[in-house]
Amino acid sequence: MSDLTEEYERRTPESRRLFEEAGAVMPGGDTREVTYFDPYPTFVEEASGCTLTTADGEELLDFLNNYTQAVLGHAPPAVVEAVTERFARGNGFAAPTREATDLAERIVERTPSVESVRFANSGTEATMNAVRAAIAHTGNDHVLKLDGAFHGTHDTVLVGVTGDGRENPGIPRNVEERVSTVPFNDADALVEAFERLGDDLACFIVDPIMGNAGVIPPRHDYLETARDLTEDADTLLVFDEVMTYRLAEGGAQERYGVTPDLTAFGKFIGGGLPCGAFGGREDVMAVFDPVRGSVTHSGTFNGNPTTMAGGLATLDALDADAIDRINDLGATARDRLDEVCADADLPVQVTGDGSFFNVHFTDEEVVDAATSTTGHESSGGPTEQFFLALRNRGVFVARRGLMNVSTPMGDAEIDALVDAFEAALSDVAPAVAAEVD
């Protein structure tokens, strides 16, 4: 057992006990694959602002924020108040409520490409329904996506999710026949894919910054090329802004100046309650109109008023000033982490944009899933060890090295991250050097 694991186990006996108890009734001891890490994950009791309190009584500085969901930090008072007030007046009717319209209006105001929007319960449902709308609208059923892109857990988008050709045993084989993948940031490969598939394509779905593959920003013109090709092929460009909507009031599409036909939203869009949304051109979204269209979209919890109230309170707080502030803090963090990496004499770098970023243990330029070290690195590799080293030093990030800034953070939290990052790099230096040899 490594020193890092030994130290982790010393700190977390109660998490181990809870994990063993959970494992008796849930495969893998949890109900969400991404929370697992070796030897067992930390159980969290509660959280406030940017601090997590664990079952072992530790306090961790949260730079993961539930994979970018908790953009206002944990238990933000205005959201807690709005949600509590709405829930107390009754929740969950088989009837529309004014809160869904209010949140839809807010998204439409902030996002010029979105003329019409629907709500669902997760980012998965958001991308699933966006793809379904594209298929219904175009009459085509082939979907193009990026190698290694994660858009949730429905069949279509799980094709190619690992980016390394690994099989995905739960997916019907015939789904793979109608999904193709291309590497991110390679305009030539995209042109070639459109020459081959253009007439059959329902859509090209892309996260404008590849989030889960390692927070990889788009190269200059890549998204414009995607826009031109989809337009020429008379097919739809779908932006998955589940993670990137935090980058500007109008998301990555505003930051990069490219207008998609459809957009998927998630994470903070319901104020921390389970929520997704998808929207875009009115003529495309009309497929969901029970009078004009014929695509089924229903769900017991769609547009749940408490969730909608949480989303409204969150978007109220996440105005342009708040976004500028966390983007600036993110830029400062990246600059300072770049310096730490440059001084470390190790193959390590940080990628990202705005308020989110990722560490990669490589010298090669990270432009796609193949050059990212988050997806294909073996379990126990440098990124995972680095994660554990940071965790032992009181900073919680993703096991794959994803980090992001929340609004309660300030200079003190960036200082704490940079200090822990530098120390954790020393902790893993021998392992990284061995991996490189």
Segment contacting ligand PLP by CB under 6 A, of 10-18, 49-57, 119-127, 419-427: 119-127
Window 223 to 242, contacts with ligand PLP (CB under 6 A): 240, 242
Tell me the number of residues near ligand PLP by CB under 6 A.
16
Is residue 371 within 8 Å of residue 364, measured between CB atoms?
Answer: yes
Of 113 and 122, nearer to ligand PLP (C-beta) is: 122
Least distance between ligand PLP and beta carbon 261 (Å): 17
Q: Which is nearer to ligand PLP, 58 or 62 (CB)?
A: 62
Contact flag: residue 122 with ligand PLP (CB under 6 A): yes
> Considering only residues 12, 15, 97, 127, which one is a binding residue for ligand PLP as defined by CB under 6 A?
127
Question: ω into residue 260 within 30 of 0, thus cis?
Answer: no
Tell me how far apart the alpha carbons of residues 307 and 396 are, in angstroms, rounded to a whole number.
Answer: 27
* β partners of residue 356: 353, 404
Query: What is the per-residue binding string for ligand PLP in 370-409, x denoting contact by CB under 6 A?
Result: ----------------------------------------
Interface residue with ligand PLP, options 65, 181, 212, 374 (CB under 6 A): 212
Which residues 6+ apart lie within 8 Å of 76 measured at CB? 313, 314, 317, 407, 408
CA distance 190 to 188: 5
139's enclosing H/E stretch is none
Pick the closest to residue 318 from 79, 61, 75, 51 (CA basis): 79
% helix / strand / coil in the chain, to the nearest 5? 45, 15, 40
Q: Which of 411, 357, 418 lies closest to 393, judged by CA?
A: 418
Residue 15 in the binding site for ligand PLP (CB under 6 A): no
Residue 211 is a binding residue for ligand PLP (CB under 6 A): yes
**Which positions from 52 to 91 touch ligand PLP by CB under 6 A, shown as an x/- string?**
---------------x------------------------
The binding track of 245-284 with respect to ligand PLP, each residue x by CB under 6 A or -, is ---------------------x---------x--------
Neighbour count for residue 436 (Cβ, 10 Å): 12
CA-to-CA distance for 235 and 204, rounded, in angstroms?
8
Under the rule (CB under 6 A), what is the footprint of ligand PLP? 67, 122-124, 127, 150-152, 207, 211-212, 240, 242-243, 266, 276
